[in-house]
Amino acid sequence: MGLTSLNQQLLSKIATNDEHGENSPYFDGWKAYDNDPFHLTKNPNGVIQMGLAENQLCFDLIKEWIEKNPTASICTTEGSMAFKDIANFQDYHGLPEFRNAVAKFMGRVRGGRVKFDPNRIVMSGGATGANETIMFCLADPGDAFLVPSPYYPAFVRDLRWRTGVQIIPVTCESSNNFQITIEALEEAYNKAIEANIRVKGLIITNPSNPLGTILDKDTLKSLVNFINERNIHLVCDEIYAATIFRPPHFTSISEVIQDMDSNDDLIHIVYSLSKDMGFPGFRVGIVYSYNDEVVSCARKMSSFGLVSSQTQYLLAAMLSDDDFVGRFLDESSRRLECRHKIFTEGLKEMGIDCLNSNAGLFCWMDLRPLLKEPTIDAEMALWRVIINDVKLNVSPGSSFYCAEAGWFRVCFANMDDDTVEIALQRIRKFVTKKEGEVATVKKKRCPMNLRLSFSSRIYDDGLRSPHMSSPHSPHPHSPLVRARN
């Protein structure tokens, strides 16, 4: 008996299955970076990490606040008097001052147009834990949620790996800037019903990851009407709510339902401080539900992924500092806008367009003109060149379950200015080289357009399925691809 077969007998199905979602090009790019990480002086030819949506542009403001407020930490001389109380066991409801501060912060991020009830704040280990918790509360194994595509690749892990919930992609297209349409929702919903799949709800990410766009009030109202008519849930992932860097302003689902006659028991919000504050390592995730039973259930489940009391204590003080929060939010938006402008204008000078966006920590980059043909295989061939030759970890659109080949997400807020410039230089060199090849071909009057065919090596790779490039990339085997097809 082989080792694999033996393990399948000895271990659980979760331990031995391949449904986590880590085996995708999205995570393969991270592995390429881990194997050869760029460093300005120690490894200047390494892979630049542009696949990680982190907000590292305002760490100086955080550091300054911590230095000025040593009593906010129980691990300083000034704050050690509170050590015993905070280090002891804490109720999984969370520290009252923490829940109050988070509720206040969530309202401020949303322009003060809506207030949040601290008693509906449920803690979780980051947005990952929050997303899974809400799935456990709302659905049984085999049930399904509609998710507009392109969507966050790790939803495979967050929403379905341990819960057994299905994801049904709702195709959005570039022809209308990937906006969600009721027609597309109805088509996906009806096909699921015809296949005897119970649809329990709709999940949206607003602002969008990977698009960097926001949903307007009218669209959100139409989504609320859609779920109310079918008596299904609406889960709104709003973890990028404070990354808006130019108008129009962000509209939360909480603001929308204030003015509607809707069943609020169907409305739930997932939030986190990972993107808005740049604290992914703190693992602060939030479930906020208007359904009392969901709040009660999620709170019981939160004991499996609590935020440490030390983190709660520190953040309660930080988020309660109104002056600091105001300055931080303003400066964060200003710096994001500046970085976005530098990066997108740099790309535009090279003839590379991005989807028009006003939020997030990334751009949705259009490389369709560089494809040999409009297929996933051609996209993967281009992606391998960008990873292996240009040495940039950008994420292919197919890993976000985009219906159109040639789109790539590229993150710009997780690095310093010098690294951004080096990344742009590498892209410029790559594009210039390809333009030179095109010019040479035209001079020889060759019918082949080398702008769409980088090298014989890529042709060979393109003939193979994407998973051939890496033992960790069985993209064709993804259950979500099968569902989409």
H helices present in 371-444, as ranges: 376-385, 417-443
Peptide bond into 374 cis (omega under 30): no
Same structural domain for residues 451 and 383? Answer: yes
Mean pLDDT of the chain: 87
Same structural domain for residues 98 and 230? Answer: yes
Judged against a pLDDT cut of 90, whether residue 432 lies above it is answered with no
Is residue 477 domain-resident?
yes
Q: Taking residues 357-374, report their average pLDDT.
A: 95
Q: Which of 167, 203, 239, 458 is catalytic?
A: 239
Same structural domain for residues 289 and 390? Answer: no
Same structural domain for residues 298 and 438? Answer: no
Is residue 374 domain-resident?
yes
| Residue carrying structure tokens 């001052």 | 97
Judged against a pLDDT cut of 70, whether residue 340 lies above it is answered with yes
| Confidence class for position 465, pLDDT limits 50, 70, 90 | very low
Going by C-alpha positions, the residue among 204, 238, 214 that lies closest to residue 109 is 238
Residue 275 bears catalytic tag: yes
Judged against a pLDDT cut of 90, whether residue 169 lies above it is answered with yes
H helices present in 38-125, as ranges: 59-68, 83-87, 96-109
Is residue 4 domain-resident?
no
Is residue 175 domain-resident?
yes
Is residue 11 domain-resident?
no
| Confidence class for position 426, pLDDT limits 50, 70, 90 | very high
Judged against a pLDDT cut of 80, whether residue 30 lies above it is answered with no
Same structural domain for residues 140 and 278? Answer: yes
Q: Which of 26, 158, 214, 275 is catalytic?
A: 275
Is residue 335 domain-resident?
no
For the record, the structure tokens of 141 come out as: 């194994």
How far apart, in whole angstroms, are the C-alpha atoms of residue 172 and residue 152?
A: 14
Going by C-alpha positions, the residue among 397, 398, 402, 480 that lies closest to residue 149 is 402
| Confidence class for position 446, pLDDT limits 50, 70, 90 | very low
Least confident of 83-92, 186-195, 270-279, 327-336: 83-92
Is residue 22 domain-resident?
yes
Asked which of 306, 325, 344 is the last residue of a domain, the reply is: 325
Same structural domain for residues 140 and 179? Answer: yes
Same structural domain for residues 313 and 231? Answer: yes
Task: Answer with the residue of higher pLDDT: 443 or 427.
Answer: 427
Asked which of 325, 357, 380 is the last residue of a domain, the reply is: 325
Judged against a pLDDT cut of 70, whether residue 471 lies above it is answered with no
Report the chain's terminal Cα–Cα distance, integer Å. 36
Model confidence over 118-130: pLDDT tens digits?
999 999 988 999 9
Same structural domain for residues 271 and 176? Answer: yes
Supply angle C-alpha 336, 387, 43, rounded to 5.
80
Per-residue model confidence (pLDDT) at position 479 = 32
Per-residue model confidence (pLDDT) at position 435 = 62
Model confidence over 175-198: pLDDT tens digits?
999 999 999 999 999 999 999 999
Is residue 313 domain-resident?
yes
Task: Answer with the residue of higher pLDDT: 457 or 62.
Answer: 62
Task: Answer with the residue of higher pLDDT: 264 or 451.
Answer: 264
Per-residue model confidence (pLDDT) at position 461 = 35
Asked which of 296, 325, 354 is the last residue of a domain, the reply is: 325
The 3-state secondary structure of 137-180 reads HHCCCCCEEEEEECCCCCHHHHHHHCCCCEEEEEECCHHHCCCC
Q: Whole domain around residue 229: which residue ranges?
A: 60-325
Q: Taking residues 214-220, report their average pLDDT.
A: 97
CATH code, domain carrying 393: 3.90.1150.10
Going by C-alpha positions, the residue among 229, 254, 256, 222 that lies closest to residue 106 is 254
H helices present in 160-262, as ranges: 182-194, 217-230, 253-258
Query: Which phi and psi (to 5°) does residue 374 adopt?
Result: -80, 65
Model confidence over 382-399: pLDDT tens digits?
999 999 999 999 999 999
Q: Which of 28, 158, 237, 366 is catalytic?
A: 237
The answer to whether the beta carbons of residues 374 and 368 sit under 8 Å apart is yes
Per-residue model confidence (pLDDT) at position 130 = 94
The answer to whether the beta carbons of residues 335 and 328 sit under 8 Å apart is no
Same structural domain for residues 31 and 76? Answer: no
Is 0.85 surpassed by the pTM of this model? yes
Per-residue model confidence (pLDDT) at position 359 = 97
Largest CA-CA distance found in the chain, in angstroms, rounded:
80
Task: Answer with the residue of higher pLDDT: 53 or 75.
Answer: 53
Q: Taking residues 248-273, report their average pLDDT.
A: 96
Per-residue model confidence (pLDDT) at position 455 = 33
Judged against a pLDDT cut of 50, whether residue 481 lies above it is answered with no
Q: Are strands 199-205 and 166-171 parallel, antiparallel or unpaired?
A: unpaired
Same structural domain for residues 320 and 402? Answer: no
CA atoms within 13 A on the CB side of 197: 21
Same structural domain for residues 260 and 139? Answer: yes
CATH code, domain carrying 244: 3.40.640.10
Judged against a pLDDT cut of 60, whether residue 468 lies above it is answered with no
The count of domains in the chain is 2
Same structural domain for residues 135 and 219? Answer: yes
Q: Taking residues 343-371, report their average pLDDT.
A: 96
Least confident of 19-23, 38-42, 261-265, 351-355: 19-23
Residue 239 bears catalytic tag: yes
Going by C-alpha positions, the residue among 482, 387, 478, 481 that lies closest to residue 21 is 478
